[in-house]
């Protein structure tokens, strides 16, 4: 499990502005250039003043958006870091307070000594060198901890960070930052898949998905408001908002009914290996022993007890009146969740589920013409959908499934779809292969097939890789397709 845990934290872009990309130049200029030109250290004084004032109104915003050392850690050191879990010692209040006391004593002692030569020629050089030495110490110590642990290890006990948190608390106590204090805010906790992505990319290694308050905001005072979690949220449901910005998470009654995360106890009844990196898992429900589920929904599967983390998977099969649920999982290289599933999940093992959830791929049975577009592992939600369309009473007269892969041997559930096509006059299965000279059927991409049809009277349901979805959306825009009739979910 130790090797798998090393995959938990993800290296991702943390610099979204020019300032955050290049402010580290200031750090090296002061820390190194100041050894020859000590007056450069005087530029640290406005930095200290700026972060203290900013934190009074916006918490540790400076750390995540302006701090030159933060830029060094995120833009430079991340490339060399082991990016692993920060030891609890570095996060402890004891270390933070001790380091603040040590820093204050050392700087204070040197300032008193330098003030003794106030008015003399060397004064500014001596004063500047105090801050040059401090900047150099932070650069060296922060750089070392960045390499061996995580880029923002230093920020856990940084004296300036501790001062910012104290200033922020003062601002809250006085009630002066209510309109300026912007926090990470979730659109609705019901929409959260609890995938842990926000925690896996967080520079401060916080766990937003486990810490939302009653207003759906992250109150953790260590949050540096850096936008990294927002930029990486797979569901796109995070924003940096003020408490007063209530328009972000207001929903009409009933709108989120499809996203109720009911807890389900289950047992892994069967594991079928479909290819080298794809397995089908069958879950026998225990409590409750059956659920109401619609074709096209997905289920949350708990993959980590340590991180209380789930993975969302489209339901590939519904059997025994909702008492048996199937999902198909493709192993992702260096993927934390799928590594656990492939190495730790065993038949007979108890498992925790949540759901069912989602309505993006729940087919409108009142429509006469539908087109299902799947790519790769994205075909799985269409298994129960096709079965429902073919076997249940509905108004659908024409249902097409366009399924694209790179090579013929990559098709999943091909026999099932061909069987459904043989049994039904209204269902057509259209397999497409992109790169296989021996394939005698449709060649190219799913968009090549879609382009052959007049889709004005269709409702389209799409699930597949991001590039496939983007190409299909572009085609539909060119065909002036009504985008309100397009329903998509990326794999």
> Which tens digit of pLDDT belongs to each residue from 399-421?
999 999 999 999 999 999 999 99
On the question of pLDDT at 188 being above 70, the answer is yes
Question: Does the pLDDT value for residue 423 go beyond 80?
Answer: yes
Closest CA to 412 of 328, 337, 293: 328
**Tens digits of residue pLDDT in 278-291:** 999 999 999 999 99
Q: Give the SS3 label for residue 354.
A: strand
Is 199 in the same domain as 320?
A: no
Q: Give the mean model confidence (pLDDT) for residues 317-322.
A: 91
- Here the CATH number for the domain that contains residue 228 is 3.30.70.20
Q: Verify that 33 and 104 share a domain, yes or no.
A: yes
* Average pLDDT value for residue range 418-433: 94
363 is a domain residue: no
389 inside domain: yes
Which helix (H) or strand (E) segment holds residue 158: the answer is none
Among 324, 357, 390, residue at a domain's last position:
357
Q: What pLDDT is stored for residue 1 in this prediction?
A: 46
Q: Count the domains in the chain.
A: 4
* Three-state DSSP state, 433: strand
* Euclidean distance between CA atoms 232 and 10, whole angstroms: 10
* pLDDT tens readout for residues 54-99: 999 999 999 999 999 999 999 999 999 999 999 999 999 999 999 9
CATH number of the structural domain spanning residue 286: 2.40.30.10
Residue 286 lies in a domain: yes
Regarding whether 99 and 10 lie in a shared domain, the answer is yes
Out of 308, 324, 357, a domain closes at 357
Average pLDDT of the residues of the chain: 92
- Residue 264 and residue 321 in one domain: yes
Instruction: Answer yes or no: do 391 and 457 share one domain.
Output: yes
Range of the domain at 431: 369-490
Report CA-CA distances (Å) from 180 to 54, 58, 172, 242, 243: 10, 6, 11, 7, 9
For tokens 């397995």, name the residue: 279
The alpha-helical segments, DSSP class H, found in 84-122 are: 88-91, 93-115
In three-state secondary structure terms, 8 is coil
**Residue whose C-alpha is closest to residue 384's, from 469, 327, 428:** 327
Please check whether residues 161 and 229 belong to one and the same domain. no
């Amino acid at each position: 499990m130790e090797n798998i845990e090393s995959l938990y934290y993800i290296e991702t872009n943390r610099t979204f502005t020019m300032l955050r990309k290049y402010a580290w130049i200031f750090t090296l200029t002061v820390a190194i250039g100041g050894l020859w030109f000590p007056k450069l250290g005087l530029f640290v004084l406005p930095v200290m003043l700026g972060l203290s004032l900013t934190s009074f109104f916006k918490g540790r915003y400076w750390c995540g958006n302006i701090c030159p050392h933060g830029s060094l850690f995120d833009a430079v050191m991340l490339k060399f870091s082991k990016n692993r879990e920060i030891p609890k010692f570095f996060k402890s209040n004891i270390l933070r307070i001790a380091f603040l006391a040590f820093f204050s004593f050392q700087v204070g002692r040197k300032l008193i000594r330098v003030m003794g030569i106030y008015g003399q020629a060397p004064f500014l050089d001596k004063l500047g060198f105090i801050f040059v030495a401090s900047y150099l110490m932070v650069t060296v110590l922060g750089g070392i901890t960045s390499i061996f642990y995580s880029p923002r290890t230093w920020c856990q006990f940084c004296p300036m960070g501790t001062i910012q948190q104290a200033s922020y608390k003062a601002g809250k106590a006085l009630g002066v930052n209510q309109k300026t204090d912007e926090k990470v805010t979730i659109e609705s906790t019901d929409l959260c898949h609890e995938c842990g992505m926000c925690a896996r990319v967080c520079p401060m290694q916080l766990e937003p998905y486990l810490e939302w308050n009653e207003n759906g905001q992250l109150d953790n005072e260590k949050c540096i408001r850096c936008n990294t979690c927002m930029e990486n949220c797979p569901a796109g449901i995070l924003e940096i908002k003020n408490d007063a910005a209530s328009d972000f998470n207001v929903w009409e009654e009933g709108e989120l009914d499809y996203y109720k995360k009911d807890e389900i106890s289950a047992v892994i009844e069967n594991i079928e290996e479909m290819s080298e990196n794809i397995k089908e898992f069958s879950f026998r429900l225990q409590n409750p022993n059956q659920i109401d589920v619609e074709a096209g929904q997905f289920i949350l599967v708990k993959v980590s007890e340590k991180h209380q983390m789930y993975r969302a998977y489209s339901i590939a099969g519904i059997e025994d009146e909702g008492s048996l649920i199937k999902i198909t999982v493709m192993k992702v290289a260096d993927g934390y969740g799928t590594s656990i599933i492939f190495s730790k999940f065993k038949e007979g093992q108890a498992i925790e589920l949540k759901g069912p959830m989602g309505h993006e791929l729940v087919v409108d049975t009142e429509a006469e013409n539908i087109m299902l577009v799947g790519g790769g592992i994205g075909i799985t939600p269409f298994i129960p959908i096709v079965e429902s369309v073919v076997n249940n009473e509905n108004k659908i007269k024409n249902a097409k499934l366009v399924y694209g892969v790179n090579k013929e041997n990559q098709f999943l559930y091909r026999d099932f779809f061909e069987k459904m096509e043989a049994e039904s006059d209204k269902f057509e299965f259209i397999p497409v292969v992109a790169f296989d000279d021996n394939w005698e059927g449709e060649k190219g991409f799913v968009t090549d097939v879609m382009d052959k049809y007049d889709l004005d009277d269709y409702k389209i349901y799409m699930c597949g890789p991001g590039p496939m979805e983007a190409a299909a959306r572009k085609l539909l825009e060119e065909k002036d397709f009504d985008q309100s009739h397009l329903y998509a979910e990326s794999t």
